[in-house]
């Protein structure tokens, strides 16, 4: 049986599934039930400085997009950091950590960009016995207008400066949570690394407007006829998050910097993908807001079973496994030739592949009067569009041509040599070098 226990920057948890800082972790009542359900750790909902708490809107704070089956694909929120008094949160954190010593208790923080403010809150958090802190440099709405959250995360110098302050003022591990609302995520992770961060976590939410109410002519969620951008999360953001995690994992300047992967994790497989791309653990928010705390049980059993099947004894065996296979376009093998293949027995004759290939791709699928759809290898460029639009899973697959076969489209013999763009005769750079 695979061992799912994790040690992330010295913080131990029985499994790699943590709850991200958000409504599921905003109070003792929630976190206790989360731990009872099996979550390995939590990042407590972001705390602000002492004093009157922030005030949330009283209208709707969420927008969303859905798939055709009304399954939630993306969630958008305009919620701020915790709106409960600091001392209440700290008291609850201390009690819960005392009662669940084997679970990771990380506290998310966001205070003004002044060393004294960070020093003051770090001391208060240390007293709770929490295992670590996460610096919220990512919240893209409300708090950023006040010079915090993503307003810090978007300026690498600030990221480095605040991280350095925190490292100088606490013995707890410091995890820096990054905003995806930035052009090159590596600049922010390098800054965190330079500032002495023990790890980075990503992604926080993405600037977004999920829709416009066409009666009120205002963005959703609409508050008394007005709307504002919110932070986007859920399954829709997973591809963006995976890419950013991979960018950091393969950046030589931050080699070895631990990463906590966040963004759309809903199943054990999502988690395994983040870990394969270099995340030492994962954090989850939207999936729990959609399905409840108990989804962790399927995540645990699914990951454990898959690891057993693959012979991974522990989580660290999996972390970063796919990183060496993430490359730049120019290094992809141009001698790898495939063609689409349609399983006629599985085909329901809907014609989507034909429409897609005929109108937007390469006119490589024919339709007979009896609605039999066939791929013409001499036209198929192997773009994979038909696979993606076909409503029947595995009905269309891509099949590799063996070395020695002739590609009827190019007339060339398929070679099993690896050859990429850097050495291709059409590459102007190659010509210049000769
Ligand atoms: C309603 C809501 C409130 C959130 N509040 C916080 C917060 O206080 N601090 C923080 O660092 N991230 C906050 N987040 C972002 C999540 O922690 C997480 O980074 C993001 O939702 C992506 O993960 P997901 O796709 O699993 O939801 C919030 C997200 C949502 C939906
Ligand atoms: S892979 Fe692309 S080119 Fe080939 S049949 Fe499918 S859609 Fe057409
Ligand atoms: S999209 Fe798939 S199911 Fe529909 S006609 Fe093409 S192969 Fe058949």
Report which ligand 2 atom has the smallest distance to the Cα of 396.
Answer: 6
**CA distances in angstroms from 192 to 56, 160, 330, listed in the order given:** 30, 5, 29
Nearest alpha carbon, ligand 1 atom 15:
204
196 Cβ partners below 8 Å, 6+ apart? 163, 164, 167, 174
User: What is the chain's pLDDT, residue by residue, as a tens digit (434 residues)?
Assistant: 899 999 999 999 999 999 999 999 999 999 999 999 999 999 999 999 998 888 888 889 999 999 999 999 999 999 888 999 999 999 999 999 999 999 999 999 999 999 999 999 999 999 999 999 999 997 887 777 788 888 888 989 999 999 999 999 999 999 999 999 999 999 999 999 999 999 999 999 999 999 999 999 999 999 999 999 999 999 999 999 999 999 999 999 999 999 999 999 999 999 999 999 999 999 999 999 999 999 999 999 999 999 999 999 999 999 999 999 999 999 999 999 999 999 999 999 999 999 999 999 899 999 999 999 999 999 999 999 999 999 999 999 999 999 999 999 999 999 999 999 999 999 998 754 44
Q: Which protein residue has the closest C-alpha to ligand 3 atom 4?
A: 350
Q: What angle do CA 249, 305, 13 make, to 5 degrees?
A: 55
106 lines ligand 3 (CB under 6 A): no
Cβ neighbors of 153 (< 8 A, separation 6 or more) are 137, 138, 159, 177, 178, 179, 181, 182, 188, 204
Beta strands 230-233 and 212-213, pairing class: unpaired
> For residue 243, what is the enclosing H or E element?
helix 238-249
348 lines ligand 3 (CB under 6 A): yes
Domain with CATH 3.20.20.70 in the chain: 6-324
Active site residues: 139
Range(s) of the chain covered by CATH 3.30.70.20: 329-422
- The three-class DSSP label of residue 381 is coil
- Hey, which of 57, 106, 204, 208 would you mutate to test ligand 1's pocket, going by the most ligand atoms within 8 Å of its Cβ? 204
Is the CB of residue 205 below 6 angstroms from any atom belonging to ligand 1?
A: yes
Ligand 3 contacts CB of residue 91 (under 6 A): no
| Cβ 332 under 6 angstroms from ligand 3 | no
Q: What is the pTM of this model?
A: 0.96
Tell me the CA–centroid distance for residue 67 and ligand 3, in Å: 20
Do 200 and 248 meet the contact criterion of CB atoms below 8 Å apart? yes
237 lines ligand 1 (CB under 6 A): yes
- Ligand 1 pocket test, pick from 43, 233, 261, 270 with the greatest ligand atom count within 8 Å of Cβ, gives 233
Domain 6-324 in CATH 3.20.20.70: yes
Mutation test residue for ligand 3: of 356, 360, 396, 398, the one with most atoms within 8 Å of CB:
396
Rounded to the nearest angstrom, the distance between the alpha carbon of 203 and the centre of ligand 1 is 9
Q: Is the CB of 260 under 6 A from ligand 1?
A: no
Question: Cα of 176 to ligand 1 centre, how many Å?
Answer: 14
Cα of 337 from ligand 2 centre, angstroms: 13
Q: Pick from 42, 206, 271: which is nearest to 134 by CA? A: 42
Residue owning the nearest CA to atom 7 of ligand 3: 347
Fold category of 329-422 in CATH: Alpha-Beta Plaits (3.30.70)
Q: Of the ligands numbered here, which is closest to the C-alpha atom of 139?
A: 1
């Amino acid at each position: 049986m695979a061992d799912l226990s994790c040690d992330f920057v010295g913080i131990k948890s029985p499994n790699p599934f943590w709850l991200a800082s958000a409504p599921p972790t905003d109070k003792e009542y929630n976190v206790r039930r989360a731990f009872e359900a099996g979550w390995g750790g939590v990042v407590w909902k972001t705390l602000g400085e002492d004093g009157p708490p922030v005030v949330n809107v009283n209208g709707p704070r969420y927008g969303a997009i859905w798939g055709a089956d009304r399954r939630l694909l993306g969630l958008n929120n305009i919620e701020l950091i915790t709106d409960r008094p600091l001392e209440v949160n700290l008291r609850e954190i201390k009690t819960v950590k005392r009662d669940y010593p084997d679970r990771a208790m990380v506290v998310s923080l966001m205070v003004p960009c002044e060393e004294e403010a960070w020093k003051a809150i770090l001391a208060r958090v240390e007293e709770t016995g929490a295992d670590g802190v996460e610096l919220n440099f990512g919240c893209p709405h409300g708090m950023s207008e006040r010079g915090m959250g993503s307003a810090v995360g978007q300026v690498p110098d600030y990221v480095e400066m605040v991280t350095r302050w925190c490292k100088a003022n606490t013995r707890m591990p410091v995890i820096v949570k990054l905003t995806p609302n930035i052009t090159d995520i590596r600049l922010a992770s390098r800054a965190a690394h330079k500032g002495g961060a023990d790890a980075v976590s990503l992604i926080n939410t993405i600037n977004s407007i999920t829709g416009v109410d066409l009666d009120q002519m205002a963005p959703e969620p609409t508050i008394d006829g007005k709307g504002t951008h919110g932070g986007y999360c859920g399954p829709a953001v997973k591809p963006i998050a995976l890419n950013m995690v991979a960018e950091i994992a393969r950046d030589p300047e931050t080699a070895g910097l631990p990463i906590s992967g966040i963004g759309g994790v809903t199943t054990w497989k999502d988690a395994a993908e983040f870990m394969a791309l270099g995340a030492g653990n994962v954090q989850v928010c939207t999936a729990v807001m959609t399905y409840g705390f108990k989804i962790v049980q399927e995540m645990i059993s699914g990951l454990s079973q898959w690891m057993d099947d693959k012979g991974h004894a522990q989580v660290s065996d999996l972390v970063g496994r796919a990183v060496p296979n993430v490359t730049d376009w120019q290094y992809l093998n141009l001698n790898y030739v495939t063609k689409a293949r349609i399983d006629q027995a599985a085909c329901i004759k809907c014609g989507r592949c034909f429409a897609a290939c005929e109108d937007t791709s390469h006119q490589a699928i024919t339709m007979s009067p009896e609605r039999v759809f066939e791929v013409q290898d001499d036209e198929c460029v192997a773009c994979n569009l038909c696979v993606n639009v076909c409503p029947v899973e595995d009905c269309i697959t891509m099949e590799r041509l063996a070395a020695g076969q002739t590609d009827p489209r190019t007339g060339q013999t398929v070679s099993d040599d690896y050859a990429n763009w850097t050495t291709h005769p059409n590459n102007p750079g190659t010509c210049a070098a000769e």
